[in-house]
Amino acid sequence: MLERASYAPDEKLRRKIRRNALILLVVAVILAAWGIASRVLARNALARETAAESVVSVVTVHPGRASTGEDLVLPATVRANAEAPIYARTSGYLKAWYTDIGTPVRKGQLLARIDTPEVDQQLAQALADLASARANLALAVSTNARWRKLLATDSVSRQDADQKAADAAAKKAAEESAAANVARLRELESFKRVVAPFDGVVTARNTDVGALVNAGETAGAELFRVADTRTLRIYAAVPEAYAASMKSGGAAALHFAEFPGKAFPATVVRTAGALDPVTRTLMVELRLDNARHQILPGAYAEAHFKLGADREALRLPANTVLFRAAGLQVATVAHGDRIELKHIVEGRDFGTSIEVLSGLDARDLVIVNPPDSSVDGERVRIVAAGGAGARSP
């Protein structure tokens, strides 16, 4: 009886130990399984996040059309409608001048007088030579007439009569030469009066009283410069891409730095009709009414040409184009999240945008600032411009 009683507590202890051990084992298994599961979940989450981060976020635009036309802005040069330097046509010394810079003048108005003592003496000599030639001619004519009468009665030989006739003809030619010389010198005398060739304003005076005036084969310095500024001619070099749009009678607007915010209407009057082979530009002349003399010749201007819209051509921002060896390409988004590269044909370049002649449809989604490494089939994620989660490719 004593042995059975002492054995019972030991059996209970062993059972308790086995139960506790089993509980610990179950807890350990649960902890191990939880740890493995959490690591697997974390690894999967990291893989998903890494995969999501590897997809480039892009901003897209649709090709558009300019419905209001295009404003072509070009630098232009302003010139007077007529401008002429005034040189002396006779030699001497400037006796007096009557107009200075800024003076309005009329056609034929006296600008200056030139003192020409040498020409005056030459004219006096030429007049004396003309008088002598006329006297000689009169004698030769009367002598020829007498000899003709004598020839009719065979009083003189025909040879002598012909000599008198030839002498009269020579004297006639000498008289005409002297008269022509007098006319030439009188014309030079008239050049002592320097006059304005047309209505305008004196823009330069480069002489003064007493200055030597040279009218030899090598022209001297210009005395005056006269410009007609009531109408101005404006010249602009139009790039080849827009040459076909320039037509006579077309309207344009001119902007000047000295008149901010104000536009002056001008009209295209003519074009060069051919491109400059060096610059590949078309010279265009515009006409501007300057009756109020607000604009000065030589000014810099901006010529604004309003061009009509081309409904056939599409436009894209310049930062959507990929420049590659195969040509110009754009990256579009196809099937919702895949890149599709398309070749395009470029038209005119507007600086911030380009004209696309072919290769795109107005419904295409074109990626802005596409990565240089873009390839067909690459996954992308479309985000709104400036939206959360967008990052530069």
User: pTM score, two decimals?
Assistant: 0.58
State pLDDT tens for residues 70-99. Answer: 778 899 999 999 999 999 888 889 999 999
Q: What is the CATH number of domain 56-68+312-382?
A: 2.40.420.20
> Do the two domains 88-113+195-222 and 228-307 of this chain adopt the same fold?
no
Percent of the chain with pLDDT over 90: 36
Greater confidence, 233 or 12?
Answer: 233
Residue ranges covered by each domain of the chain: 1-36, 56-68+312-382, 88-113+195-222, 117-191, 228-307
| Mean pLDDT rounded to a whole number for the chain | 84
- Sign (positive/negative) of CA torsion 288, 309, 247, 354? positive
In CATH, which of 3.30.210.10, 3.10.290.10, 2.40.50.100, 3.30.930.10 is domain 88-113+195-222?
A: 2.40.50.100
pLDDT for 69 equals 61
At 52, is the pLDDT very low, low, confident or very high (cuts 50, 70, 90)?
low
Q: Encoding tokens for residue 264?
A: 């002056």
CA dist., res. 327 & res. 375, Å (int): 15
pLDDT at position 49 is 64
Query: CA separation (Å) from 202 to 80, 103, 244, 280?
Result: 12, 5, 39, 36
Q: Which of 48, 133, 59 is nearest to 390 (CA)?
A: 59
**pLDDT of 303:** 94
CATH code, 117-191 = 1.10.287.470
Q: Which CATH class is domain 228-307?
A: mainly beta
Q: What is the pLDDT of residues 153-212, one digit of tens each?
A: 877 788 888 888 898 899 899 999 999 999 988 888 888 899 999 999 999 999 899 988
The CA distance from 361 to 344, in Å, is: 11
- Enumerate long-range contacts of 330-333, CB under 8 Å, 24 or more apart: 330/359, 330/360, 330/366, 330/367, 330/370, 331/366, 331/367, 331/370, 331/374, 332/360, 332/364, 332/365, 332/366, 332/367, 333/58, 333/60, 333/365, 333/367, 333/380, 333/382
